[in-house]
Amino acid sequence: MGNALRFLYGNCCKPSTEEDSGSLGPHGVSASTVGVSALAQDLYHFEITSQVPEGLSGHVVSSKKAQANWYRKLSEAWRQTKPPPKTPEEAARLVIETLKRHQKADVEGLLDFYGLPLPDTMVQVSTGVPTKLPEGVKFEMQTLPVDARAIPDGDTITVYVSTADPRESACVPQGVQMAAVRRSKARAERNYEQADALHQEIINAGYRVINLPNNEEVLARKYRIRLRGIDAPESSMPYGKEAKDELVKIVQGKCLRVLVYGEDRYGRSVGDIYCNGIFVQELMLKKGCAWHYTAYDKRLELAKWEKEARAKRVGLWAAKNPEEPWEWRKDKREGR
């Protein structure tokens, strides 16, 4: 896990401004960074020293030996999470899931020590990844990491799937394959103008060469995904920006599992999206970032999750009478 932790330790564990220095948490960092960055710092130090942080015993009930056991488990969980947690909620979920068999007082004490959200303040997600494909699924895909720029609003994502995937490898157009080979050769010869022209040819065909964090280049197919069963505010509607930002926060930099049920009239793949074991539509509904799109999806659980958000008046439901996006689009089409 070294690289992820070293990055956070080197870049996130310091007050960013002089104003921050007056509100330092127990790790000498500002209140705004005491969560994920401090946990990363302490995990990094634990791997080197096998020592848990000073002061933790004042927040938990178990012994130092037990605390060391937690940090071993958290280090392993952090290592397996790609990319590692970036937000307080992601870090809190990792702690809660990893230590779910430990005492509640210890888990909550550890979260409090890092200033991370406690379980009762977080949206509880109830659905895991299906162990078998649900009825109606046409196919599934595993995406490459999602770029935030590929998310135009709260219910649409552009993703890329590696052509090394068996389902994709059999249907790559010959022209795209040839262009990819020629582009690689042009880059090796430092003929970047020709390489860029060939890449544009690849893009026009619905593919792209993706640069992965390890500097590996992957030829990938483009898919536009419409999140099945929800309808988020359009970007120019009230709460449209917030809905988009929430979806970005959930999926940015993550590899997604997408279960595709079909295509809509705009050529988008309509599917259920899972991110690190979380059903994305469930989270968007429970956070009040979308409506249940009953015209196209009758699932009772989606209606229940929307009802929960309405009752709590979270997200778009904080407004008294939010306008439905399908009605807004209808008015726009009719020029009202």
Structure tokens of 100?
């779910």
The dihedral over CA atoms of 271, 254, 118, 153, expressed in degrees to the nearest 10, equals -50
User: How many Cα atoms are found within 13 Å in the side-chain-facing hemisphere of 314?
Assistant: 20
Q: What is the sign of the dihedral through the CA atoms of 266, 267, 268 and 271?
A: positive
CA-nearest of 284, 288, 276 to 319 is 288
Residue 291 has phi, psi (to 5 degrees) of: -95, 155
Task: Answer for the pair 225, 153: CB distance below 8 angstroms, yes or no.
Answer: no
Task: Answer for the pair 261, 270: CB distance below 8 angstroms, yes or no.
Answer: yes
153/55 Cα distance (integer angstroms) = 43
3-state secondary structure 75-136: HHHHHHCCCCCCCHHHHHHHHHHHCCCCCHHHHHHHHHHCCCCCHHHCCCCCCCCCCCCCCC
Structure tokens of 66?
């037990």
Place of tokens 């979806």: 247
Q: Which residues are catalytic?
A: 226, 234, 268
Task: Answer for the pair 23, 30: CB distance below 8 angstroms, yes or no.
Answer: yes
Query: How many CB atoms are closer than 10 A to CB 46?
Result: 20
